[in-house]
Amino acid sequence: MTKLAFIGAGNMNGAIISGLVNKGFSPKNIIVANPSAPKREALSQQCSVLNTHSNIEAVDFADYIILGVKPYLIAQVCADISSNTSIANKCFVSVAAGCTIEQIQQALNSKQPVIRVMPNTPSQLGFGVSGLFASDEVNDEQKQQTSELMESVGIIKWLNSEAGIDHITAVSGSAPAYFFLFMEAMQNKAIEYGFTEQESRALVQQTALGAAQMVINNDMPISQLRQNVTSKGGTTQAALTTLIEGGLEQLVTDAMDSAVKRAQEMAKE
Ligand SMILES: NC(=O)C1=CN([C@@H]2O[C@H](COP(=O)(O)OP(=O)(O)OC[C@H]3O[C@@H](n4cnc5c(N)ncnc54)[C@H](O)[C@@H]3O)[C@@H](O)[C@H]2O)C=CC1
Ligand SMILES: O=C(O)[C@@H]1CCC=N1
């Protein structure tokens, strides 16, 4: 059975672990490493996975090492692992934004198989999106197993180039936060109208869910779904005109370009 070591017990690794365990992946085959106890112990208790303070112990346990620390820590963590234990036959999977395969292999001091995955936090609920790109050293079995792993928490897309990871970061990795910001703004306005915080949240979340379900369950273009809500001269048209004249579409594309640019900058830092 495949054994997984998650390095870092934070938001993203936590979301993937929860998703995997919810889908029936055996928690006995998962270990999570984090230097400080509270997060790893909470995750370990919540998902019944093994935990350790030692990255080395976690690496020794597993075939796949999922690197889920902040990007600026990836090189340090990799260097520490490779100088303290054998990494032969281990496949490294990095979820870090703006951290290239070449940098990871350099830090590991070995042309190790490395797969970059750009997931998102809805993986926790099985609604994730992950972009994947593999180094030349990754074999078919490792590709297959990583596909199965990430497919168990959402949909996946193998990318043709490593640069595609930065694009999918803008499209889906960072994107739950765009929708959250939109929903926060709507919730705040609903509160201003006099709904309670709880009522406002319920109204906004159900509307967002309904809109996503409409997109999922219809073949028609999203623009058609929008038009179906928009009566000529009506309330929706008034609202959309405000959004469009305020530059929403340009803002969204600019925001996505900013995410790509930031990922590219991070790779140079
Ligand atoms: N949060 C998100 O939505 C997404 C995050 N990512 C990537 O996931 C990675 C982690 O991000 P988050 O989970 O948001 O951060 P986080 O801060 O929630 O988690 C990082 C964890 O690493 C632990 N840590 C620090 N030093 C360590 C070490 N030396 N060894 C082991 N663990 C250590 C921290 O204690 C923390 O629990 C980043 O590289 C980010 O680019 C990728 C896609 C989406
Ligand atoms: O904000 C970040 O840099 C990470 C990568 C995608 C989502 N969170």
Q: How far apart are CA 147 and CA 2, in angstroms?
A: 13
Half-sphere exposure (Cβ direction) of 154: Cα atoms closer than 13 Å = 25
The minimum-distance atom of ligand 2 relative to the CA of 266 is 3
> The complex's ipTM?
0.99
Residue 259, both tokens:
């995410």
CB neighbours of residue 5 within 10 Å: 27
Of 34, 36, 40, 167, the residue with max ligand 1 atoms within 8 A of its CB, to mutate for a pocket test, comes to: 34
The pLDDT profile of the chain, 269 residues, written as one tens digit per residue, is 799 999 999 999 999 999 999 999 999 999 999 999 999 999 999 999 999 999 999 999 999 999 999 999 999 999 999 999 999 999 999 999 999 999 999 999 999 999 999 999 999 999 999 999 999 999 999 999 999 999 999 999 999 999 999 999 999 999 999 999 999 999 999 999 999 999 999 999 999 999 999 999 999 999 999 999 999 999 999 999 999 999 999 999 999 999 999 999 999 98
| pLDDT for res 44 | 97
| pLDDT for res 9 | 97
Q: In three state form, how does the secondary structure of 235-253 look?
A: HHHHHHHHHHHCCHHHHHH
Q: How far apart are CA 70 and CA 149, in angstroms?
A: 21
Residue 174 Cβ contacting ligand 2 at under 6 Å? yes
CB neighbours of residue 82 within 10 Å: 17
The minimum-distance atom of ligand 1 relative to the CA of 11 is 13
| pLDDT for res 1 | 76
CB neighbours of residue 250 within 10 Å: 10
Q: How far apart are CA 122 and CA 154, in angstroms?
A: 8
CB neighbours of residue 232 within 10 Å: 6
Q: How far apart are CA 117 and CA 101, in angstroms?
A: 11
Name the residue with tokens 């140079």.
268
Looking at ligand 1, which residue's alpha carbon is closest to its atom 22? Answer: 8
CATH number of 175-268: 1.10.3730.10
Query: Where exactly are the structural domains of the chain?
Result: 4-161, 175-268
Ligand number, closest to the Cα atom of 9: 1
Phi, psi of 45 (to 5 degrees): -70, -45
Percent composition of the chain: helix, strand, coil (DSSP 3-state, to 5): 60, 15, 25
Going edge to edge, which strands form the sheet with 91-94?
Answer: 50-52, 30-33, 4-7, 64-67, 91-94, 114-118, 128-134, 154-158
Pairing between strand 128-134 and 64-67?
unpaired
Positive or negative: CA dihedral 21, 26, 28, 32: negative
The minimum-distance atom of ligand 1 relative to the CA of 96 is 39
Instruction: With beta carbons less than 8 A apart as the criterion, state whether 18 and 48 touch.
Output: no
Q: How far apart are CA 110 and CA 184, in angstroms?
A: 45
Distance 266 CA to ligand 1 centre (A): 15
CATH number of 4-161: 3.40.50.720
CB neighbours of residue 192 within 10 Å: 9
